[in-house]
Amino acid sequence: MRNYNILTINPGSTSTKIALFKNNELSFEEVLRHPAEELNAYATLLDQYEYRKEKIENFLNEKGIELGGLDSISCRGGLIGPIPSGTYTINEALFERLSTDVIHASNLAGIIGYNMAKELNIPAYITDPVTVDEMAPIAKVTGIPGVERKSKFHALNQKAVARRAAKQLNKQYEDAQLIVVHIGGGISVGAHQQGVIVDVNNAIDGDGPLAPTRAGSVPVESIIDLCFSGEYKSAQEFKEFVAQRAGLTAYLGTSDVRDVQDMMDQGNEEAKMLYEAMAYQICKNVGAMATVLKGKIDGIVITGGVAYSKQFIRLLKERIDFIGDVIVIPGEEEMLALAEGALRVLKGEEEAKTL
């Protein structure tokens, strides 16, 4: 069997994760840190492209990695608008979309990967970006004409752990009925119906459960009052608050659930109430997704960083284990998921999509 060498790239706001895989086996993983004083030299995220690309290439050279030995580069997808799930070849059209209105560092992955791959004459891919949209039309309806619910969530990790859970259940992902809960800085709860995520909350813009950094669903009247209160200087400022500084962060000054658990141990009743409220709201969303799947549930998959907390998992199980078996797959294996997406294409198991 042929071995494929796949480089994966996943930029964050102040770092860039890279990893090298031989097939789906990790050879090494590294987080390249970008000090604030270096990033501040660039006016926009897009301006950071050459800087980050050079950091990656320099590290690989220092590591003794021969770039000519790569078979593909697999990149985090970024915010590129609604597209079906799958692995996409980064062609000129996708490159242009990634390069337009770069408001999230993840867009840089495909820009860097496209140019590196072009120099090496190998393919570059993205797999399951956060704007994957498989929602059923009925799931997008709201009470206001012209306003639809949007699909923005942890698509890459949700799809990856759903495949693993299906395998544990001796099923093909395309035959399974699963509810997947990703609990990180944001929280997404998705209904996976035979390989399609037919409903999911918008984990970025204010929908679903209270989360460590995000507001979740809130009463519309109160939001209207806040918008006209003068507390926020612009729509963008308020959007950033809802998506980055709300949730546990706004109440307790931390987005780290371990810190919240320490506060609880020290007798902080507000921390205890908010911790339990987050679990309560996740469970309500799981219950809602159970109705989407008409009660035919093969399993409920819990993933993300918070899934390492046995205390939090216990709170969830108390309310949802009657719905279906709870399968815990903690953490985020995004780098492996990127490699696996590329590998399926390279091995001919899946056809790469294009824009």
- Looking at residues 53-74, what average pLDDT do you find? 94
Q: How many CB atoms lie within 10 A of CB 92?
A: 10
pLDDT given for residue 13 in this prediction: 77
Give residue-wise pLDDT tens across range 76-106. Answer: 988 899 999 999 999 999 999 999 888 788 8
Higher pLDDT, 45 or 176: 176
pLDDT given for residue 12 in this prediction: 83
Confidence band for 314, pLDDT divided at 50, 70 and 90: very high
Q: Are the beta carbons of 260 and 272 closer than 8 angstroms?
A: no
Confidence band for 223, pLDDT divided at 50, 70 and 90: very high
pLDDT given for residue 292 in this prediction: 98
What are the contacts of 49-55 at 24+ separation with CB within 8 A? 49/108, 49/111, 49/112, 52/11, 52/16, 52/108, 52/112, 53/112, 53/115, 53/116, 55/16
- Looking at residues 222-230, what average pLDDT do you find? 93
Q: Residue 1's Cα: distance from chain center in Å?
A: 32
pTM above 0.95, yes or no: no
- Looking at residues 224-247, what average pLDDT do you find? 90
Q: How many CA within 13 A on the CB side of residue 35?
A: 2
Give residue-wise pLDDT tens across range 291-308. Answer: 999 999 999 999 999 999
pLDDT given for residue 330 in this prediction: 95
Rg of the chain's alpha carbons, rounded to an integer?
Answer: 21
CB neighbours of 212 closer than 8 A, spacing ≥ 6? Answer: 184, 185, 186, 247, 248, 249, 255, 256, 257, 278, 306
Domains of the chain in start order, with CATH, are 5-133+334-346 (3.30.420.40), 169-330 (3.30.420.40)
pLDDT above 80: residue 284: yes
